[in-house]
Structure 1
Amino acid sequence: MRHINNRAPPGYAYFVDNPEQWTPLFHFINQKVPEGVDASDNALFECPCTPQRVIDVENGTIDGTKSFANPFGTCNEAFEESNPSCELSTYVGGWRCCEDGVFVLDTDKYDVDALPTDEVYGVFRITYLDGVDARDTDLKPLESLGGDITGSVYTKGNVEFDVPLCEEGTAPEDCIYEMETVHYISGGINATDDTLWEIPYLVGHLHKGGIDLSMYNMTTGDLICRSTPIYGNGTEAGNEDGYLVGMNPCYFEGDDLIVAPANEKVRSVVRYNSTEPHTGVMALWFPRGAEVSA
């Protein structure tokens, strides 16, 4: 997302040893619905599994490929019992049906070869210190930790889930899909990992329809961080009306700096607007931590 500040907090940096190349990962979805095509922007945006996808439940593959991330069947108990995205046999849409070169239109209904082709470019901007060995400075090296609302202390999670349409007759302001889980602050599943981390930065990752993602201290019940989305309200690039264009992070310093072992339990709660159903949404934490020397 354009409006997420991933800059390391003062006193910290991302260390990279002897890089030979950078490989950015972009995910572009063409949402321009051509004339005569019966599809909503939202349907294309959320990667529906079209009839052209070859889903093999027995082998756990879509189009002959297994997910490069977590496999199906890794949801926590609450999601496993109720969410279609947790199992391939009930999967109807999400990033696994949106791999490179895949059409999100039913190509039996539409001649995609006759549709116009767009050329799209993306830019990754990375600032760095030149001519300096970062380990000779006072900067602390940051590492990426994690957290997934579909996970727990026993499983890392499925990455994505579906938001069902709220019950008919529910007032729009009450159409909120809420789920929670308890997980380790590191995002791992090793109960004996007591590596000490200081965490100066936390940010959530939500999709369209997201309201907020909150993390609570399990011992005190106090709110640690509530990461909220930024929605566009215009037409210019990066401010597209109704689209989620960024997330607000939480920074911690001084007496508020989080210092905790990797296996400290926290409770996370996500809320999504359910006036419309959604497939393949996410609720992930991207903490940045520096390991505390023994």
Structure 2
Amino acid sequence: MNLPKDFYKVRTDINGQLLSRNYKGGLFCCQDNVQCKLRNCFRGPTGKLSLRYKIRWVDWDEHQVPLKFYILDSTDRVRLNGSTPIHDCQAEYTIPRNHDNDFPHVKKANIAMTKGGYLIYGTAHMHTGVVNVTLYGQDGRVLCTSSPKYGTGKEAGNEKGYLVGMSVCYPKPDSIKIADGEILTLESIYENKFRTGAMGHFYIYLAEQIPNKYLKEI
């Protein structure tokens, strides 16, 4: 990135500490007027982009139920203020290179779900170097494992060696239920290589109930 010359003298992390000069990529590199580095003397071409979209809706009926959307973070260190959970997500983390072994780097978080429901969808948001991410129930059962897809070519969306997608879980309706207050464990695994700006986010959709038509099919 074409960072300002005083970047490391003024840019701070989530704790207000100045970034180390070893910090080579992540959220804290994103600031106004910063862009990807270009070739020397690059002058174009440039263009304007616009976004077009359509909004559709359907009439509500008994076959539709609301979903709750949660983002879980493997950096979360939950503590309690009485009975109220306080989340301390760092959003990203640094993976130090461990020269003593070649074991992957593992980060785990135990997160209590105040309100549970039926798991409808799950996937992870990760960065290049990820091995996989797994969400476990309190009893150790696997709720969803999201695995990476790495590019093999040169075209956009398939860049060789880069992470281009994560697999998605679509459990059968009524097959996985997370209880109110259940403690989930999120485990993100990366290669044992130095990396800044690593993330371990997991997105899940929960439904409080399953439409009757699905229960009949099951």
TM-score range, shorter chain: 0.7 to 0.9
Shift of 1:250: 1.3
TM-score (norm 2): 0.75
Aligned pairs for 1:137-156 within 5 A: 138-154=63-79, 155-156=87-88
The percentage of aligned residue pairs carrying the same residue is 26
d(CA) in 2 for partners of 1:121, 1:227: 35
1:164 aligned partner, one-letter code: P
AA in 2 matched with 1:271: I
Q: Which has the higher helix share?
A: 1
Q: In 1, Cα distance between the equivalents of 2:157 and 2:70?
A: 27
Q: Is this contact kept in 1: 2:117–2:208, CA < 8 A?
A: yes
3-state SS in 1 of match to 2:157 = coil
Q: C-alpha separation between the residues in 2 aligned to 1:159 and 1:151? A: 8
Measured in 1, the distance between the counterparts of 2:35 and 2:175 equals 47
Residues in 2 aligned to 1:166 and 1:144: alpha-carbon distance in whole angstroms:
36
Give the aligned CA root-mean-square deviation in angstroms. Answer: 3.3
Paired letter, 2:183: K
Match of 1:288 among 205, 208, 216: 205
Any unmatched runs of 5+ in structure 2? 80-86, 211-218
Structure 1 residue 89 corresponds to structure 2 residue 36: no
Whether the 8 Å CA contact 1:227–1:247 is kept in 2: the answer is yes
Report if aligned partners of 2:65, 2:209 keep a CA contact under 8 Å in 1.
no
| Alpha-carbon contact 1:147-1:156 (below 8 Å) kept | no
Report the equivalent of 1:52: 6
Structure 1 length-normalised TM: 0.58
Aligned ranges 1:94-109 → 2 under 5 Å: 94-103=26-35
Q: Evaluate the alpha carbon distance shift between residue 259 and residue 178 of structure 1 in structure 2; reply closer, same or farther with a 3 A threshold.
A: closer
Report matched runs for 1:3-42 at 5 Å: none
Q: Which residue in 1 is equivalent to 2:42?
A: 115
Name the aligned partner's letter for residue 225 of structure 1.
Answer: C
Higher relative contact order (CA 8 A, sep 6+): 2
Residue 236 to residue 111, structure 1, CA distance change in 2 (3 Å): closer
- Asked if the contact 2:120/2:173 (under 8 Å) is kept, the reply is no
Aligned match of 1:167: 99
Give the Cα–Cα distance (whole angstroms) in 2 for the partners of residues 124 and 184 of structure 1.
39
Aligned AA (1:116): R
Deviation digits for residues 44-87 of structure 1, max 9, x if unmatched? 5xxx966332755xxxx65xxxxxxxx824xxxxxxxxxxxxx6
Number of residue equivalences? 200
C-alpha contact (below 8 Å) 1:212/1:229 kept by paired residues? yes
Equivalent position of 2:188 in the other structure: 270
CA distance in 1, matches of 2:69, 2:198: 21
Maintained 8 Å contact 1:205/1:284 = yes
Post-superposition offset of 1:90: 4.1
2:137 paired with 1:217: yes
Please give the per-residue CA displacement for 1:143-196, whole angstroms capped at 9, x wherever unaligned.
32111010032324111111122316x4xxx241112121124xxxxxxx4x34
Q: Distance in 1 between matches of 2:150 and 2:49?
A: 21
Aligned to 2:108: 180
**Letter of the aligned partner of 2:187 in structure 1?**
V
Tell me, yes or no, if the aligned pair for 2:96 and 2:195 is still in contact at 8 Å.
yes
Alpha-carbon distance, 1:264 to partner: 1.8
Describe the SS at the equivalent of 1:96.
helix
Are 2:132 and 1:207 aligned?
no
SS in 1 for 2:111: strand
> As a proportion of its length, which structure holds more strand?
2
